[in-house]
Amino acid sequence: MSAEGISRAARLRSLLADHTVVMPGAFNALTARAIERAGFEALYLSGAALANSLLGMPDIGLTTLTEAVEHAARCAAVTSVPILVDADTGFGGPENVARCVQEFERAGVSGLHLEDQEFPKRCGHLSGKTLVPTEAFCEKLAAARAARRDPDFLIIARTDARGVTSYDDAVARAQAYVRAGADMIFPEALESREELERFARDVPVPLLANMTEFGRTPYLSVDEFASLGYRIVIFPVTLQRIAMKAVCDALTALKAQRTQRELLSNMQTRQELYELLEYNPEAARAWTPRADRE
């Protein structure tokens, strides 16, 4: 709850009612801080980025609910902006989904999305996925909606049908998911601007666009997505990909040059890090947890 007594979920709802919200993906608490400091109104927690960065493993359903909730709680503890989290398939059946919603609410996030893949899931832009029956996923959505304590907490339904069955099945599933109680729809891996535009006409509810790199969806700007009617645009793994490219390049240079001197200009300085952490080593009390400052 903010100092004004408004939940982060309510703030996210207010933002969505006004304009399209951009959500860069954080892969740890420090990048969550950086996203807020850069002036973004909200941030996203990707299941793929969590599996990659925490476990060093691919996005194939190996992350547990406990690991995902702990990650979300750490990011929420050092930020004040709304957070949307990737809850994969809900970590089980309808009862597991209900607990999932309550745990993420307790962690301080503003909403989550669930996907209609069978467990173990795969990255939405890869082939080889399978879907659960529409009715089974609707049961999960109903359980999620019933379990939330804050009515502003967003329940977003992601459908992977476009890459598995057909565009028309994706539309039919999305419409069923809205009837089951989803607040928004996340159509994964649409393959052209025309499909994105058509989907917004066929499913006239708030929509989320996934602007991931090297996938099936074309690169559109936030303004372009907004003009098509999408209310959230996520950049789930952008920061992790940028960071890991820099890490690999730095390791190559360090091994070849046997010194980091030529890398200094590419580094965040000690002072820049302290500023991001809101840490003053010269102060009598050098640092105070964010919760104590609000």
Segment 63-86, tens digit of pLDDT: 999 999 999 999 999 999 999 999
Segment 82-102, tens digit of pLDDT: 999 999 999 999 999 999 999
Q: How many CB atoms lie within 10 A of CB 181?
A: 15
The strand order across the sheet containing 111-115 reads 21-24, 230-235, 207-210, 184-187, 154-159, 111-115, 83-86, 43-45
Show me where the domains of the chain are located.
8-237, 244-293
Segment 126-157, tens digit of pLDDT: 677 899 999 999 999 999 999 999 999 999 99
- Rounded Cα distance, 284 and 294, in Å: 20
Q: For residue 248, give every residue at least 6 positions away whose Cβ sits within 8 Å of its Cβ, in sequence order, or none.
A: none
pTM to 2 decimals?
A: 0.94
What is the CATH architecture of 8-237?
Alpha-Beta Barrel (3.20)
Which residues are marked as active site? Answer: 44, 59, 86, 88, 113, 115, 123, 158, 188, 210
User: Are 9 and 42 in contact, with CB atoms under 8 Å apart?
Assistant: no
The single residue listed with the structure tokens 């801080």 is: 33
